[in-house]
Structures are given as C-alpha cells and as structure tokens.
Amino acid sequence: MTGHASASLSQLPGLDAPSVEALLGQMADLVLLLSPMQDITAMRAWGSLADKACPDWVGRSFAAILSRDSRGKLETLFNSDLGKAPETVRWRHVNLVCEGGASLPVLVKYFELGEGSDRARVMIARDLRPTVDMQARLQRAYTEMEAAFESRGTVPGASTGALVVSGMMDSLGHRPMGQIVSETVRALETLCVTEALRRSNDDAEAASRLLGIPVEEVRRRARLQ
C-alpha cells in the first residue's frame, strides 16, 4: 500500500508558486519560511489566523516570536524531529506572540525541502484556539454539572471530569481534533450517567429525571460501561 501511494504521488506534475501556496493553505493556517539561521524570511496566513499573524514577525528569528514557555521545544523542532521520518513527526504545541500582544496557541511542524543551500525551510502551523475554546466549554459544562449536583445536596465526583478533559487534551497532535472532541463528550456523558446512577442507588428512572434524558438512554449508556 505504501509503495502504491509513493508511486502515485511521484506522478504529480511540477507545481508553480501559486499552486504550492494553495496546497500549503490546505495543510495549515500559517506558513513561515526560514533562513538557515532560523530567521523568518516570509510568511503567509489563511483563515482564522489571517488577521492574527503579525507582519513584524518577518525579519525576526523564530525563537523571538515564541512565548518564554515554548522556547524549550526549539531543539526538538529543528533537530530531533528533523531527523525522523516525516510520517512519524508529531505536531508540537507552541505559543506565538506579537509585540505587546496576547499569545497565540498553535500546533507546528518543521520540515526542509530540497538539497544543499537552496533547500526550503518551512514551519507550518495550525490554529489551536478552537480546541482551546472547546476545552474551556467542556470544563465549564462539568463545573455547571458539579454545581447542579451540589444544589441537590450531593457531593460530585471531585476532579474526575477535569481528568477526562486533561487526558483527552494529551492527544493533541496525535489524532484529529474532531475525534478528540467527540470522545471527550462521550466520556463526560458516561461520567454523568454513572454518577447519576450512583446517586440514585441504581434507579434508572430516578437517574433519568436527574439528567433530563429518557430512561431508555440511561439504561443504554449503563450497558456500554
């Protein structure tokens, strides 16, 4: 299968500059071209990052636009990852900063194309803000659930929900965002059903009233645990 894919891709015609730019725009929200000294020589942003990328990044080193807590990943990005097979390199979470501005969370990958002094050095980035927002919404939803349980005079399941969210966020860069979000939602829903049953002494009808969902749904989810 791998040989087939390689053979097919090798038949792609030579791409002109606009075609390369269009292709990169499908891969990433931000592309930075770097010099051998890791200075930014050109940049292009699309979509959600089009109005967030800072023009004054051009001419500065890549390290200079990283937040302080992200600079420890430079060695991994430019040395460790570069020596690996491209398909094994994971996306790395870093925060980019504008002069006097807030940090911008992104996932990045670095790669080089071509040989010798003419090779292109490319850093591609994906906007991580939608995932960060989703994480915040999930955490708020769990907090509201805890508050609802407390208002009924019960003690919620401590930090279990927070651990679920935190554990799923560890998957960033390894799996698509949609898959992470859907699995996180399912895990939190299961947690709610489990907790409701516990507080209702395994009475499915009482749990359904507590959760506001049909009793059949409570029983179905209980069977899946």
Question: Tens digit of pLDDT for each residue in 7-35?
Answer: 444 555 666 666 666 666 667 889 898 99
pLDDT for 45-87, tens place per residue?
A: 887 788 888 888 999 999 999 999 899 999 988 888 887 776 7
pLDDT band at 147 (very low <50, low <70, confident <90, very high): low
Summarised one tens digit per residue, pLDDT across range 171-220 is 666 666 667 667 777 777 777 888 888 888 888 888 888 888 888 888 88
Q: Tell me if the pTM is above 0.85.
A: no
Q: Which domains does the chain have, with CATH numbers?
A: 2-127 (3.30.450.20), 131-224 (no CATH)
| Average pLDDT over the chain, rounded to an integer | 75
Return the HEC string of the chain: CHHHHHHHHCCCCCCCHHHHHHHHHHHCCEEEEECCCCEEEEEEECHHHCCCCCHHHCCCECHHHECHHHHHHHHHHHHHHHHCCHHHCCCEEEEEECCCCCEEEEEEEEEEECCHHHCEEEEEEEECHHHHHHHHHHHHHHHHHHHHHHHCCCCCCCCHHHHHHHHHHCCECCECHHHHHHHHHHHHHHHHHHHHHHHCCCCHHHHHHHHCCCHHHHHHHHHHC
